Amino acid sequence: MDSHLVYPYVISHTIQFPEDPFDRLWVPLSNIKGAEKLTLKEQIFTNNTANLIPTIVMQTAISTEEDTIEIQFSRNVSNSSWLMYFAELEPSESRIFTVLIDNQIQKGPIKFERNYSATELDFELKEETSSFTLVKAFNSTRGPLINAFEMYQIVSTSPATSSTDVEALSDLNETSHLKSWISDPCFAVPWEGIRCNNTSNNIVRVSEINLSRRNLRGMIPPTLSQLTELIHMSLDNNYLTGQLPDLSNLTKLQTLYIQNNNLSGEIPNWIFQLHNLKELSIENNDFSGVIPKQLLTKPSLNFQYGGNKNLCTKKEDCTSKSHTMGVVLGVSLPIIFILTFLLVIMLYRKKYLTFLTHRTISQKADFSMVLVPNSSKSCSYTLEEMVTATENFSHKIGQGGFGLVFLGTLKQGKQIAVKVMSLFSKQGVAQFLNEVELLSRIHHRNLVSLLGYCNETRDLMLVYEYMSGGSLSDNIYDEEKNSKLTWRIKLKIALDAAQGLEYLHLGCTPKIIHRDVKTANILLDANFNGKLADFGLSRVSIDGEASHVTTTVKGTAGYLDPKYYSTQMLTEKSDVYSFGVVLLEIICGRRPIDLKLSQDKILLIDWVTPYVHLNNEMEEVTEIVDKNFDGKYNVESIKHMVKLGIRCVAGELSFRPTMTEVVGEIKEALKFEEENNEEIVAIVGHRDTHSNLGLKNYSYMEEETSSDIE
């Protein structure tokens, strides 16, 4: 296989994993006589290169207006192979040159055009001392250019991965097409999602497969049964179909996760013959028939099987379902849910007219019959526990569309935020059910965690982790708090929120559209780590292939996507629009709508747009930057983010970036900020530095309900 050595290229710091998935080492090139450094921020496409050179490597180059670039080497390069990489980084009428090795012409004449695409040339070297020379052609208007080059030798690797394991993984790759799945699965760079171990006879075997949310499609290949040393396998949250193949040979398997797919058929008997199996999750598939009794009674097995509507624990239950199938045929579960809840609400309103308003707890309303989705995945708290935790709801910390929010402390000492539904809530039971449904099955470091709920007798409550830093909106519009948020900290908060949205759009199956992205729904902890909150309006795209969801328009004025408002067609690009408004709000330190300003400045987007020119230096952009930054920011970083914000709020959906692209652009802006020579406050230790951000300053306040679009 290829064993790569040293790879010089033109940039200011060394690049390796994770920028290079093959863990090659790209070392800066220096002391090239008469050469100048070129850089380009636009993406360079490298997929057409054989060895997938990192795009960041191709965004720099050296060039010269002289006739030659000479690169000398004095090292043992005998029998080595070399690759040279080229990509035009500046406008050029003509850049033509020839490549010489030891003054002998090897390639040329070569002409490159600016098409944002990388090109590679390969060479074989025989001499111990060699030199490259790039020579300008007589009819070229520009001097030669080179972006990067690498050297490698073919070496043997031993031991190799078992051939049967390679065959099984290759069959699995037919459904994944992962670009990093090349060469040997375990050497020298293991395939993405694969872990390997040496066996007693010195043969490398695959021990773990982690391919959750990798867009796998088709059937599970039966050759996976050849992975007899496999201990863990995660194929969950994909689009796998068909029946389970016979994997009875996987006798060492301890965990098998295949939930959230489209698998069907009966549960095969070979599963309960896997005596080492400790975790088995088949939830949310289309399995049918009777669950083998051995799976239900095995004490050492954690077996999760919910969400398979045709699966039964007893034979008579399945018989009963088949008799009643004609009654429910053609009626979808979501419609049944909605009708049930509407009926429950009407029943309650007819019998009980009073409920919790402000701090008063009603003695009549009864929500104990509300069917809570995914109840096994959420903690159910009693009313007594909530009264004790909140000291009889004595410490109000916020109020939103759902109701009041109180601070509480559980018996274990963990602080919590308790949302209590108000009689006047516009979303009420629907938001309660939506948040429990979504947050009980999705988890991410940039999403606020739902700890549980309470629907005992008189109240509907949602119990969250306590975010002591308040909302991003609170911090922006509180002068004292805002003065402590540096541009770098706000960039990091924006990155946190973007990563949370990216997870909802790409990491969840089916994808989730938040539908109410705003600074009031980005909460901060004591160290200014950001988390996305409030999923009461979120929608699930049930059909993974659908381009949009048609739904009643809901959201918050100023953040609402005009395209969604006019067409009622909801897509993830609607979230991108709202996030673009958030970015501009962070940069400018002003609200999306300010009625105190003149007509042409009321909307934040209208105010910012005249300062933005995507193709020039945008020198005047500093005039719209939040004055609280006091000039302590990298201007290139600001420009980068303003351009990104404007792209996010583009009128045409196709012009808006994906959240993955947004995450990448924010990381790029953070790199600009790293280069800032000014002293930057580190994002550590804020718990002590800002200890005054205590309970008095904490707030879960949302936007005024009058700004919510129903």
Strand 204-210 vs strand 232-234: parallel, antiparallel, or unpaired? parallel
Of 522 and 143, the structure prediction assigns the larger pLDDT to: 522
Q: What is the CATH number of the domain that holds 617?
A: 1.10.510.10
Of 542 and 539, the structure prediction assigns the larger pLDDT to: 539
State the chain's mean pLDDT as an integer. Answer: 76
Of 21 and 526, the structure prediction assigns the larger pLDDT to: 526
The two tokens of residue 321 are: 């379902």
3-state secondary structure of 441: coil
Taking 50 as the threshold, does the pLDDT of residue 245 lie above it? Answer: yes
Can you give the C-alpha Rg of the chain in angstroms? 30
Q: Report the residue count for the chain.
A: 710
Claim to verify: residue 224 and residue 296 sit in the same structural domain: yes
Taking 70 as the threshold, does the pLDDT of residue 32 lie above it? Answer: no
Q: What is the CATH number of the domain that holds 217?
A: 3.80.10.10
Of 521 and 600, the structure prediction assigns the larger pLDDT to: 521
Of 575 and 370, the structure prediction assigns the larger pLDDT to: 575
Of 213 and 661, the structure prediction assigns the larger pLDDT to: 661
Taking 90 as the threshold, does the pLDDT of residue 292 lie above it? Answer: no
Claim to verify: residue 274 and residue 406 sit in the same structural domain: no
Taking 60 as the threshold, does the pLDDT of residue 481 lie above it? Answer: yes
The pLDDT, as a whole number, for residue 30 is 61
The pLDDT, as a whole number, for residue 569 is 85
Which is it for the CA torsion 72, 75, 80, 85, positive or negative? negative
Q: What is the CATH number of the domain that holds 52?
A: 2.60.120.260
Q: What is the mean pLDDT of residues 607-620?
A: 75
The pLDDT, as a whole number, for residue 534 is 84
Taking 60 as the threshold, does the pLDDT of residue 475 lie above it? Answer: yes
Full residue range of the structural domain in which residue 390 is found? 334-465
Greatest mean pLDDT among 291-300, 414-423, 487-496, 695-704? 487-496
Whether residue 710 is contained in a domain is answered as: no
Q: How many domains does the chain have?
A: 4
Claim to verify: residue 411 and residue 280 sit in the same structural domain: no
The two tokens of residue 154 are: 């073919």
Active site residues: 516
Of 347 and 249, the structure prediction assigns the larger pLDDT to: 249
> Confidence band (pLDDT; 50, 70, 90) for 490?
very high
The pLDDT, as a whole number, for residue 4 is 36
> Confidence band (pLDDT; 50, 70, 90) for 599?
confident
Of 572 and 341, the structure prediction assigns the larger pLDDT to: 572
Taking 50 as the threshold, does the pLDDT of residue 326 lie above it? Answer: no
Whether residue 329 is contained in a domain is answered as: no
Question: Cβ(641)–Cβ(491) under 8 Å?
Answer: yes
Claim to verify: residue 301 and residue 283 sit in the same structural domain: yes
Whether residue 102 is contained in a domain is answered as: yes
Claim to verify: residue 579 and residue 480 sit in the same structural domain: yes
pTM for this one?
A: 0.47
Strand 262-265 vs strand 539-540: parallel, antiparallel, or unpaired? unpaired
Question: Cβ(349)–Cβ(443) under 8 Å?
Answer: no
Task: Name the residue with tokens 């009693």.
Answer: 382
> Confidence band (pLDDT; 50, 70, 90) for 536?
confident
pLDDT tens per residue across span 183-212? 677 765 667 788 888 765 667 889 999 888
pLDDT tens per residue across span 47-104? 667 777 888 888 888 888 777 776 655 445 556 677 888 888 877 667 888 888 777 7
Instruction: Give the single-character DSSP code of 178.
Output: -
Claim to verify: residue 29 and residue 98 sit in the same structural domain: yes
Contacts of 146 (CB under 8 A, 6+ apart): 10, 61, 62, 63, 69, 71, 84, 85, 86, 134
Q: What is the mean pLDDT of residues 616-621?
A: 72
pLDDT tens per residue across span 336-380? 555 556 555 554 443 333 333 333 333 334 444 455 555 555 688
Claim to verify: residue 508 and residue 537 sit in the same structural domain: yes
The pLDDT, as a whole number, for residue 258 is 93
For the ranges 109-113, 176-180, 263-267, 702-706, the lowest mean pLDDT is seen at 702-706
d(CA 486, CA 473): 15
d(CA 482, CA 476): 5
Claim to verify: residue 300 and residue 189 sit in the same structural domain: yes
